[in-house]
Each structure stands twice: as structure tokens, then as C-alpha cells.
Chain A
């Protein structure tokens, strides 16, 4: 079996999220070095505060300031911090019940080692130097042996409250396309297009994905198709794509390569865009070092008869 193909794949997704009134006050408070909780009707103070009571689901809006000092309720020693975590030196994950709160907040605790951390230990907030209205405005917690800090009784009303956050995320994958697509890609690097035939319905899939979606069975018999093909349908693109150096208008087409059971798609070049038509016979144009055809151009053959491609999607 040929070598398994692999390539890095980075997925990044910066979500822009709007905040409810309680979340907005809490995160704005962090920006101003104020920690706010929310009171439930039965008198508990939830920190971090939420918009709805987790027990009764009733809307809760009664904000109250709590202390930036508190007690560890459980912890876990992280000797090998991961990329985006709060500290890049070994630290403890902690749930901290702040003085004045009845529930605990998850964050990091900067401590010299696991032997210096225990449930029940006293800690205080270490504020980030630059704060923007996010949970990361708390840089981390740090050990603290003083008296509980006295909250100043902030109302929870702020000028210029934050109303949203941008939550950036990046995940790094190693993509491997699997058996059928690896074979297809390997053949392309020899400028050959190789599909796979369904053993049941005999249809040739290009590109192959390893299974016939009609029969639900594995395709395995490799079939070289093309290089010539027929335009089965097309559109004229008038919008210039970002990072794509192609003059508009141009034609993007479905092309049924000779011997293939369905069409793949590609750009048509070497002919004015308004002369492209269904049935046009085309062939791939390769550029030096390319992994796939740059575009397809007319072969000069007579157009294909409609009946020869009308069943090819």
C-alpha cells in the first residue's frame, strides 16, 4: 500500500458573541477590577453570575459585588500547560468560592508546586495588566493569607459596558484523506485522473470517496478516466474571489471526463467566456509543478451529442 498522505490542517473560528445583561455586567466589572455575582430568589449568590437560576430557570438580575479573595473548593495540578491556557508555567486548575459567593469559579492558580496547593486554601485574584471585559481579565489566582477583602458594594451599573466578546479559537489537525482519496491524489501527481468503480452498479466515481452512495458498498477497482471530457453544465462567474488571481468574467463548469460516471468541476479557459456551451469538448491544462489541472480548454473536437452526457450530473 502506498504511503498514507497527511497534511496540516488549521481550523480557526473567531466567534463574535453578544452578552446578556448579567454577563455584560460581570465581564465589564472584571475590566474595572470588580467581581459581581447575581442573587437568586432564595438568597444564594452565584459567581460567575448567570442570566437564569440553574434550579428554577427564573430570570435573575439582582447583581451584588463579592470579594476578589476566596477559598479553593477543588484543584488539579497541571504540570504541562497547553497552548492557550492562562499560564505557561505549571499551575493548578482551581474552583474558587469567592468571599460572599455560594458557588465557585473556574480559573488557574499560580503556585510553586502541587505540595503548596490544597482544598480550603485561601487565594485572591491577580488582575491582568490589560483588561478588555473577558474572563481572562483575571490573569489567575495567587495564594493569599490575609483577611477577606471587603467589597465596595458596586451597583453593577457601568458606563461603556461591554456588550459582546470575540472568542477566538484555533485547532491544529493532521488531515489524512484515507485510502480512496489518497490513491486519487497520488495519481494526479502523475497527471492521471483515476476514479473507482462500484462493484454493484458499475458507476465510476471521480473523485472517489471510497464508497458508492447508492449501493453503500466499497469501491475499489481503479479506473483511469479522461483526459478529455465534456462540459455538462456551466456558470459565468462575475465576482472576483479573494486571493484568486483570475480575471472575471470566467466560466466554471461541470466536466464529465470520458469514462467517468459523474462530473467534476473546473474552470474553462482558452475560449471567450460567452462561447462556452454544454457539450463542449475539453481537456486539462497542467502547469509546472501543479498537483491538479489549472483549468480545462477546448480540444477542438465536435461538440458531444446531448444524449451522451444527459445522465451525468
Chain B
């Protein structure tokens, strides 16, 4: 089954995007207090009020801050009473956007609010993320997120796909590009630092921090009313690798490639790609899998190496790609989101602006 919007389906666009400043800690704010300004900002960009929104979908994980049912408290910031049409995914907000996109395709709603947030600062993030692993053979060993990424990085080095200086160059380019992104957590020169889990150095790893993001989707003429240059979603697809790490070729990402193909990414070149590659080595894998050459502007926002609010960073990629189309800096962009160890799950969206 293709995940292109069928020819007869309605056109759906990202019409607004907002995000917090991403910070190492936000312990002065609860989750809803952190999220609410972003919800207000994204609504203000379109002039919509909560009551005008047809469908609301969010992504977050209670494990990050150790707060049960935190997403229900976060809904307070939306204004969800009287009851609204609403859904939640225990995944990055990119997957909430995927659900909202399909909801709009059905014609059940004309507008959708999608948001995501993550407070990683209250918990030991590297250990928290081990709880998503195979509970029989892997989770009892507590292999943390950096360790698993380091195994992938070493496999890439062994295969001759990269080396430590190439990885350092990816880190430097990302933080340098982030100087133009006022929301980024790491900007400008950042030392590569000591090995965290060799071969990965601290500079190869994303910052740990708290943040939130929100986008608004709208269908057809509604999108044109709300945004001067909507970022039309031409396709979205999500694919998964086999869950056992030892079964996979860690130097490649067939699931990302297939998702891109099904989303229509290879039909025409893109000028921009926002990749959710939290570790430098993962950009190497994704560039190869997604066939991105040097003509494509990769992660002009600085990417996840500049700000990686877990559960929101994938949605931020779609938002950043859409915002470039809104501003006229891009005509056709690829946005990618990942979840799980070593790029286990991959979502690709293709966005386009109207011809100028």
C-alpha cells in the first residue's frame, strides 16, 4: 500500500510551527507550563482558537520525567473541556502528525493541532531509554542509548563509511548552522570532547534537554487562508527494522529508504533535508539510505545535535522543514524522524511549497 496521498484525496499542509527554546533543564516549569506558550504561539500564527481545531494529537512519554499520565495533564494547556476530538501516541510527535494527517485525509476534520513535549532533565535519560528495548534478551543488560549508537558508529568505521574526523565535521557543521537557530540548545563551537562510549565523543552525541513543539495542519483552501505559502505534505511513510540488533546491518537503513520511497521522496530531488540523527554517525547512515548528495541542504536548523528534546525532536524536523517552505527558503523538503535504538524506526515526510 502506498502512503502517497491518493490523487483524489485532499491536499493537506503544515501551516504553522512553533517550538520552545530547548534547555538543559526546565525544573521551574511543569510539563503543561512548558508546553502552553508553544500552543498559544502556534494558534496565534494562524489566528485560530482551540475551538476552531478539528482534531488534536500529541506525542510524549511518561518514562522521561517519571510522571504517570502526564499527557492528560498536558491537555490542560489545550483547553480540552468540553471534550475535544483528541488522541495521543507514546511516540515522537512526528507519529502524532502522521495520525493527524490520516485523520484529515479521511475528511473527518479540516484542521489539526499536533504537539509534542519531553522533559528529559528529571531522569537518567540514557538509562530510561533502555526500557524500550527487548525485555528478554537486551533490557536486562541496560545498554544505554549512547552505547548502542557507539556500536553502530564502530560498524560504520569498520566498513570504511566514515571516520572520527568525518564525524567531528558533522558535529561542527550542525552546531555552526545552529547559530542561526535561536531555539537550539548547543550553538557555535562545541568541543568534540572525550570519548563517552568509544568511538563516540561527547561532541558526537546530542545534548540532553527539555522542550516542546507544535504544528497546525490544514486541508485544501483552509490551508491557503491560514498561511501565505503552505508546506503541502506530499507523502508520509513509516517503516521499522527487525528488532534484534544482531540481525541488522547497522551501517544501512533499509527501513528509512523504503519509507522515503513510499513517501515519494525519490520522485524528484529535494533541496532540503531535516534529518533526525541524534548521533553524528546516524547522519552518515541516513545520507546513504536517503540518497542525499551534497546539493541537498542537510539540517540547516542544526538538527538533533543542536537540540534533541526527546519525543519532540522528530516533530521539530517536520516543523523546521515546513518553516523553510513557509519562508521561501525551500521548495521541496524531506523531513525524517526516528525512534528506538540505532535508527530502528524511521518516518519520512515530503513537503512542497506552491511554485513561485
Contact = CB atoms under 8 A, between A and B. Distances in A.
Nearest to A20: B136
B122 A74 contact: no
A260 interface: no
Interface in B116-147: 122-124, 126-128, 131, 135-144, 147
B6 interface: no
Nearest to A1: B28
A60 to B, nearest CB: 13
Q: Among A73, A74, A86, A107, find the residue whose CB has the most chain B CB atoms closer than 10 A.
A: A74
B155 A211 contact: no
B87 interface: no
A213 interface: yes
Interface string B188-225: 00000001011110000000000000000000000000
B80 A213 contact: yes
Contacts of A15: 135
Contact of A179 (B30, B39, B244, B250): B30
A68 B346 CA distance: 34
Interface in A160-203: 165, 167, 169, 171-181
A169 B131 contact: yes
Interface in A210-257: 210-218
Contacts of B150: 76-77, 93
Interface string A264-283: 00000000000000000000
Nearest to B31: A178
Interface in B246-288: 246-247, 250
Nearest to A210: B33
A79 interface: yes
Interface string B39-73: 11000000000100000000000010111000001
Interface in A66-117: 73-79, 82-86, 93, 95, 97, 103-108, 114
Nearest to A95: B246
Nearest to A216: B79
A41 interface: no
Contact of A82 (B79, B138, B142): B142
A103 B247 contact: yes
B244 A54 contact: yes
A172 B125 CA distance: 10
Interface in B126-180: 126-128, 131, 135-144, 147-148, 150-155, 158
A114 B141 CA distance: 20
A255 to B, nearest CB: 22
Given A103-B246, A106-B143, A82 B136 contact: no
A84 B158 CA distance: 29
A27 B136 contact: yes
A11 B32 CA distance: 21
A211 B147 contact: no
Interface string A40-67: 0000001110100011000000000000
A180 B32 CA distance: 10
A299 interface: no
A179 B27 CA distance: 9
B292 interface: no
Given A95-B246, A214-B81, A77 B195 contact: yes
A134 B27 contact: no
B151 A97 contact: no
B245 interface: yes
Given A213-B80, A216-B79, A108 B151 contact: no
Given A48-B244, A179-B29, A79 B198 contact: yes
A215 B78 CA distance: 8
Contact of B29 (A103, A169, A178): A178
A140 to B, nearest CB: 10
A75 B195 CA distance: 14
Nearest to B80: A213
Contacts of A149: none
B105 interface: no
Given A48-B246, A82-B142, A176 B154 contact: no
Nearest to B156: A74
14 contacts: A23-B136, A76-B199, A76-B200, A77-B150, A105-B246, A136-B141, A167-B135, A169-B139, A172-B124, A177-B30, A179-B28, A179-B33, A180-B30, A180-B33
Question: Which 8 A-B pairs give the minimum distances between C-beta atoms?
Answer: A216-B79, A178-B30, A104-B246, A76-B150, A54-B242, A77-B198, A173-B66, A176-B27
Interface of B: 27-33, 36, 39-40, 50, 63, 65-67, 73, 75-82, 122-124, 126-128, 131, 135-144, 147-148, 150-155, 158, 195, 197-200, 242-247, 250
Given A4-B28, A167-B140, A179-B30, 13 more contacts: A54-B244, A74-B155, A95-B151, A106-B143, A119-B155, A135-B137, A135-B141, A171-B63, A171-B124, A178-B28, A210-B33, A211-B76, A216-B79
